[in-house]
Each structure stands twice: as structure tokens, then as C-alpha cells.
Copies of this chain bind each other. A is one copy, B any other.
Amino acid sequence: MEKLRISLAQINPTVGDLDGNSEKIIEYIKEARGQGADIVAFPEMAVTGYPPEDLLLKPHFIKDNLEAIKRIQEETKGITAVVGFVEGGKEIYNAAAVLHNGELSAVYRKMYLPNYGVFDEERYFKRGKEPVIVLLNGIRIGLNICEDIWYPEGPTRTQAAAGAELIVNINASPFHYGKWKVREDMVAKRASDNSVAIAYINTVGGQDELVFDGHSMVFDEQGRLIARGRSFEEELITIDISRQSAVGSRRSEAQDEGVRIIELPAIKNKPASSALPEQTEIIPPSTAEEVYKALVMGTRDYLSKNGFKKVVIALSGGIDSALVSAIAADAIGKEKVTTCFLPSVYSSRESREDAEAVAQNLGVRLIIIPIQETFESYLKALKETFAGLGEDTAEENLQARTRGNIIMALSNKFGWLVLTTGNKSEMSVGYATLYGDMAGGFAVIKDVPKTMVYEICRYINASKGREIIPLRVLTKAPTAELKPDQKDQDTLPPYELLDSILKAYIEENMGLEDIAAMGFDVAIVRKVIRMVDSSEYKRRQAPPGIKITSRALGKDWRMPITNRYESY
């Protein structure tokens, strides 16, 4: 045999949905078999979804996942499937099952467990100790899992040294913008450094704050890309990998040491290989495009996987709520999106017009509910207690929270999920009202810096070929409209400046001096750092949102609230 036909099943599992995930895996096994694949590979922990977090502490969850693997195993007649699951009992492993012709023939246990950023794998798993190679029709295939491939000294090297011709690396690698390129470069290098072909299969879909972008890929033993999967879509990628002639000579008995090699029995009566389905060439997306797609998929999956059919969004007339509405309409359809304009005396005519234009451009329903009377009723109730005191942020927050209360009442009455509209710049410095504009179930653009909000809106208008986000919304000065003539820039540095400082502080862990040395005014840097540090309590009570940068304000940002360290 001179070639191997491999299918990469880039699927979208749901955390905890053992039955649904198993059914999906079985479907894809059938499809791969129909395409004449010798082997089909599924993502890391495809059976459980990723990350299942503390579900992994439940013994009955582990047991149920093992039963699911058994059901899948029975459906692998005539094919080999590599399926991510959780192995073990009292001690558990992040593992890959090799299901071959109806049997569980081998298990590989992940050796490198990520425990940084959004990852907590040392919390749950024991580390595997043994690289595994399976011998399929005389071809040596090394298995490994996600993090394993990132280490030059990891199992890929050992497996290649033991004669592996192909590495099947299964992943649940979360998205952030630009990461696809880092992955491609790394896998290409790993392939050429070890003279081994690598099939990198990634999961796809949204899970709480994470989005997985798919973007599976196959490199030949010289590090040349020979197949690339789509981003943010389920897909079965099937290709033929030619066998290397040079590999036999690389092998020696000595180098097998420490590697478990399992020979898979030949499958009898296997149908002759059919023609390959045609592959379309996938062009990697621009930053604005990939972030937009991540936000759409993250929103769609949060809704569908949690059983929500419709959403409600408070439109302010500003750019953030316009963007969130556009994302929602794209994610679940315009007829399932309700927008709501909640004017006070400080709301301008322009804001109302712009909110109406956004709703009209998107074709979504708009409800208008004035908040002024309710706001005044609060002031009356508080009059005696507040006697003799001037107006301040208490009154501003009261308005924002009146809006929050109304939008939540719509949510409760109609079962609509509230999408909040705060961006990363605001979330970072605490320029938001807890229980006000922060009230809701999902914070779609929580990790999108304000400058990128503009960029994505321009991308939407360009890609749709018409004005979805009204031009005035793209050009007017941002305002919270909680007091007369208020502008964001009264309180915050210009967004271009703010976002650069925030990136250095949040994503790069830089301190005051180093950030100032990049060319920023030290007083402004100090002010920004102070605002970030002192608004931790707000972020702690914020709804989850989609991670799109290398460090979001979620699982990869674990700052104490009680914190007297002054980085400024």
C-alpha cells in the first residue's frame, strides 16, 4: 500500500451531551467510510465536548463517557477511528481511543497538560507517560493530543524517531485572532523538523466564553500544507497521504524504546478505494473577518446549546449595540432578534434616529420604552434619603439600571436572552454600570477592543455591500448619554491610545514603566492601570463573553478583587 486515505472530522460537539456527541461521531464515521477512508480522526474529547470543567470530577460522568465510547466502537466496522475521550476511573486521562473494525485497539494518554491561560488540565488529569504508534496496513501512525505537538521534545519527536510516517494530532484549540497562523507555522516546522506528515484536527463551535475555529490542516513530511479545513464550520476533510519511501531507513529497533507500538489487524473485504471528493481551496480570513465569524458562531452556539431561541438587545444609537445586533441577526436570523430603545431626557434625537436606522437596516423589531417616569419615581423614593446632596454617578447608574431592569423584564416575560453590548475597552476600565448596561446573559463583544469594534463594523458594511451600520454611527463621538453633553472621551483617553495601553497591560502583563517606555504619557498609563485594577469587582459579576484576543477578561484573567498591589 502506497497511500493512506484519512478523514479529519472537524465537528462541533456540545459539552456534556454524551448522547448527541456520540450520534454525531457515528454519523461522521459512516460518512468517512462512504468516502473510502482508512482512518477518521475526531477532535480532542469529542465525546464529552471541551472543556467539561468540573463535570470531570463526577465519577458518573466519566462512567457515562466510557459507555459512549463503547457505543461508538461498535460502529467502526471496516474503518479505524481516533476519538478523543476521557479514560480512567479514579485517576483520569485526556485520551485518544483507537477504535478499529469494532474493537478498542489502543489508547493514547495526553502527555503535556496545559495549565495556563484558559486551561486547567492539571486540575483533572494525570499525565500520560507513553507515546503510542499504531501500525495500520503497515503504515506507522503516531497519535498525540493538542498541547503535545507544541513541544519540540514532545511525543512527535519520539514517534518520528520510531518510524512514524504520519502523526495524527487531535485538538480542542481555542480561537484568538491570528492564532491560525501561529499554529500553521508551528505544525509545519514540527513536520519538517521530524520528517513526518502531520494531520492536525481541531474542534469547531462555541462553549461559553471559548470559540473553536476548526481550521484543521495536513502537512506533508517536508512541512508543506496539503490540506486546510474551513474556519468556524463543521466539515469532513478527506485526503490521500502518500507514503514516504525514506521512512523505513530512519527506523531502528533502538529508537522504538519507550514507544508502544500496536499492530492493527487487517480489515478483510474492505471495498476498493473510491475517488476523492473534490476539495475547495480555503483562503485564511482577515482579522476582521475571523473575529466577526468567531462572534457569530460563539453567539449562535451559546444560544442553541443553552436552548434559547430569541434574543433582546438594548439599542443606544451607538456603535457597540449596533454591532451586537448585526451579529445576532446573522447568528440566528433577524426575525428572532428584538431590539429596544430606552430613551431618557438625555437621549438625543440623533441616538433615536440611529437606533431606528440600525433596526431598519437589519430588519429587526424595535420596541421603544421611555424610562423617564420610572427614573423619576426612583428619585422621588430616594428624595428624603438623598436630601441636600448633589447629583453624581448614583443618578447616572439609576438610569442605566432602570434600563437593565426593563430589558430583564422583557427577557423574563418572553424568554429572550439579553445580549449585552459592552466592549473590551469599557470592561477593562470599568466604564459600565453593574446591573445596568452589564445586565444580561451573554456579552458578545466583551473581548473586542473599541478600535476593533469600528474595524468589524466597516468589514460588515463592506462584505454585505451596503450600509448595515449607519455611517453616522461610525463617525460620531461615543457617549453614554447619562448626563447632559456626556462623551466617553471626557472620562477616558482616546480609544486608539487606550486600546494600546490595555493590550500591553492585559495581554502582555507589562507594568507602568515598560508601558510608558513604549512612548505613552506616564500619567495616562497610570490612570488606565488604576482604572483596570479598581474595577475588578465589576468584571467578576459580568456575563461571559467570547474570547477573541490572546487574553480575555474571563478564565484567562484571574485577578484578585482584594489587591493592594499598585502597578502604577
Chain A residues engaging chain B, CB cutoff 8 angstroms: 14-18, 20, 51-55, 57-61, 64, 115-116, 120, 122-123, 206-208, 301-302, 305-306, 367, 369-371, 373-374, 377-378, 380-382, 385-386, 389, 392-394, 397-398, 401-402, 404-406, 408-410, 412-413, 434-435, 439, 441, 509, 511, 513-514, 537, 540-544, 557-567
Would you give the shortest CB distance from A433 to chain B, in whole angstroms? Answer: 9
Q: 7 A-B pairs, CB-CB below 8 angstroms?
A: A14-B562, A15-B565, A120-B123, A208-B561, A373-B377, A402-B405, A408-B435
Contact in complex: B115, A562 (CB < 8 Å) = no
The residue in A17, A54, A564 that gathers the most chain B C-beta atoms within 10 A of its C-beta is A564
Q: How long is the Cα–Cα vector from A307 to B64 in the complex, in angstroms?
A: 49
Give the contacting residue for A406; candidates B378, B410, B514; CB below 8 A. B378
Task: State whether A51 touches B560 (Cβ < 8 A).
Answer: yes
Nearest-CB residue, chain B, relative to A305: B562
Q: Top 4 nearest A-B pairs by Cβ distance?
A: A16-B565, A17-B564, A60-B511, A394-B412
Find out whether the CB atom of B511 lies under 8 angstroms from the CB atom of A435: no
Given A120-B120, A562-B208, is A369 in contact with B393 using a C-beta cutoff of 8 Å?
Answer: no
Asked whether A382 lies within 8 Å of B406 as measured between CB atoms, the reply is: yes
**Chain B CB within 10 Å — which of A15, A305, A541 has the most?**
A541
Are B409 and A382 neighbours in the complex by a CB distance under 8 Å? yes
From residue A516, how far is it (CB to closest CB) to chain B in Å? 12
Quote the shortest CB–CB distance from A431 to chain B (angstroms): 15
Chain B residues whose C-beta falls within 8 Å of the C-beta of A394 in the assembled complex:
409, 412-413
Residues of B within 8 A of A382 (CB): 369, 406, 409-410, 413
Do A540 and B537 have beta carbons less than 8 Å apart? no
Which residue in B59, B306, B401 is a CB contact (below 8 Å) of A509? B59
Q: How far is A215 from B378 in the complex, measured between Cα atoms in Å?
A: 48
**CB-based contact A380/B373 at 8 Å:** yes
CA distance A95 to B441 in the complex (A): 41
Residue of B14, B116, B564, B566 near A123 (CB, 8 A) is B116
- Measured between beta carbons, the chain B residues less than 8 angstroms from A402 are 405
Residue among B51, B410, B559 making CB contact with A53, cutoff 8 Å? B559
Which listed residue, B122, B378, B560, touches A55 by the CB 8 Å rule? B560
Q: Contact: A18 with B561, CB < 8 Å?
A: no
Contacting pair B381 A369 (CB below 8 A): yes
Extra A-B contacts (20), CB below 8 Å, given A58-B511, A393-B412, A404-B435: A14-B562, A15-B562, A16-B566, A52-B560, A54-B557, A55-B559, A55-B565, A59-B509, A115-B115, A206-B562, A371-B381, A374-B378, A377-B377, A382-B413, A398-B409, A401-B401, A405-B405, A405-B435, A435-B439, A537-B543
CA of A404 to CA of B401 in the docked complex: distance in angstroms?
9
**Complex contacts, A410 vs chain B, CB 8 Å:** 382, 385
B381 near A374: Cβ-Cβ < 8 Å: yes
- Residues of the B chain whose Cβ atoms lie less than 8 Å from the Cβ of A441: 537
Chain B residues within an 8 Å CB radius of A64: 565
A389 CB, min distance to chain B CBs, angstroms = 6
Cα–Cα, bound, A120→B511 (Å): 23
Complex alpha-carbon distance, A439 and B400, angstroms: 14
Query: Could you tell me if B392 and A413 are in contact, using CB atoms closer than 8 angstroms?
Result: yes
**Which residues on the B side are within 8 Å of A116 (C-beta)?**
123
Contacts of A122 in B (CB 8 A): 115, 122
Question: Contact between B564 and A544 (Cβ–Cβ < 8 Å)?
Answer: no
**Complex Cα distance A439/B439, Å?**
11
Partner of A405, one of B53, B55, B398, B564: B398
- B residues in contact with A20, CB < 8 Å: 564
**Which residues from B are CB-within-8-Å of A57?**
509
Task: Give the distance to chain B from A51, nearest Cβ to Cβ, in Å.
Answer: 7
